[in-house]
Amino acid sequence: MRRLLLTLTLAAGLPLAARALPPVPPAPPVTLTPDRPAAPAASTAAKPDARLERGRYLAIAADCMACHTAAGGKPYAGGYAIDSPLGTIYATNITPSKKGGIGHYSEADFARALRDGVRADGSHLYPAMPYTSYAMLTDADVGDLYYYFMQAVQPVDEPARQTALPFPFNVRLSMLGWNTLFLDNKRFVPDPAKSAQINRGAYLAEGLAHCSACHTPRNALMAEIGSQTLAGASLGAWHAPNITSDKVSGIGAWTDAEIAAYLKTGHVEGKGQAAGGMAEAIQNSLQFLRDDDVAAIVAYLRTVPPVRAPGQTKAAFSYGSAASEEAALRGMAGSTEHHSLNSGAVLFSGYCASCHSASGAGSTGQAYPALFHNTATGGNTPANLVSAMLFGVERKIEGEEHEAFMPRFDQRSYVQPLTDEQIASIANYVLKQYGNPDVSVTPAYVAQARSGGEKPVLARAQPFMLPGGIAGILLLIALFVWLRRRQG
């Protein structure tokens, strides 16, 4: 989630069908975005290659394009930078080039990389490639994916930029220990007590779409916490929300139609809209899934055990209503009762009201969403509100006339960069005027989000690992010498 934004580390993991589950049936023609590779042209007399179409559909469902294609780059040629807390991880070239890609991979090599996280040369992949989820894939689906990449993807001979994490995370062999502890290398097995639709949804959500990679919190070693599956997690500056069946903290109060619409379009009026990694997942993958597969994911999510956030008693989308301070700002009201919010109100009027309206009701048609009844403003964390202001929102859905867009206001803004203090002031105004008034934002919080969010324990410990390791070795040597002298 999607580019993750996933905080992938050497000691981190990201985080469908069993043999009894039939392979994906031949998909109807999938509408491709301009940068998605098409199958080789066929004559009008030739029959469609059903296996290639299955492989193409699986690659879309697994969102391979999102991470393996850099902005402006060639499809699947790698080079996309994943900014993890431990350093930048560059996605590899997975085109069928024998020089720069995986053209020399056998199907067994491909399966091992996909499901075990081990490259053809024996070195370990970082869990930026969510092999912990892909481990569920059937042999048939892995074979169809391999066929698609080898037959339909244009080879690119230029190797992708190499990842170079700092010590000790550059020691890829250490992933062997992490995999021993946390990799469940079992294929998906349908639950006989569940319907075929729910099993299909589980295969898609847990395996191909790897939802838990973003939406499940992690322990100190960055492995997913099983008891908190899909309960929401921090992803750098963003927050992947709780998508369990809980009616307050999760999506239990959403209708099936609302969840399906969100997965296909990234927007549901009165609930929320996708940004960051989720917007990329919808743009590159989820919007292209067949309706029956989207319905299967929805059915599966209904079965995920509810997880309630501590202290949360009100759904995030239930906060707020339309309200405006424009009259007071223009001197049309004598009261100064809102003086404490004046700075935020003034900034909101200048930077936000033209799109979201002075009352926060959004634009007609909600191309610019309302700021009340919105999970970004009513949640128990301001992460997505602040990140949307800092990094903007961009989401394109095929068939829609206009893409969802909000300019960024960080130092890369082409509109007007805003300071940490200004972002905090606007966020606090929006939270108190339209969202959860119990949540507040400090300039320090904005500064942290601007730099990538709060770092996990491993990232904070990294500067001390080398000197600590040397000190440990010296201590062991000293102890050995002392023991030898005592024995002498």
How far CA 176 is from CA of 116, 220, 388, 469, in Å, comes to 10, 17, 37, 20
Q: Is 267 annotated as a binding residue?
A: no
Q: Is 64 annotated as a binding residue?
A: yes
CB 287 within 8 A of CB 349: no
Q: Is 339 annotated as a binding residue?
A: no
Nearest to 106 by CA among 136, 150, 51: 150
Nearest to 53 by CA among 154, 152, 200: 152
Nearest to 238 by CA among 34, 485, 2: 2
| Residue located via tokens 């055990």 | 305
Nearest to 100 by CA among 124, 74, 123: 74
CB 319 within 8 A of CB 435: yes
Using left for φ > 0, alpha for ψ between -120 and 50, and beta otherwise, residue 314 falls in beta
How far CA 329 is from CA of 323, 336, 342, 372, in Å, comes to 13, 9, 8, 21
CB 283 within 8 A of CB 301: no
> Which amino acid is residue 182, in one-letter code?
F
Binding residues for heme c: 64, 67-68, 211, 214-215, 352, 355-356
Binding residues: 64, 67-68, 211, 214-215, 352, 355-356
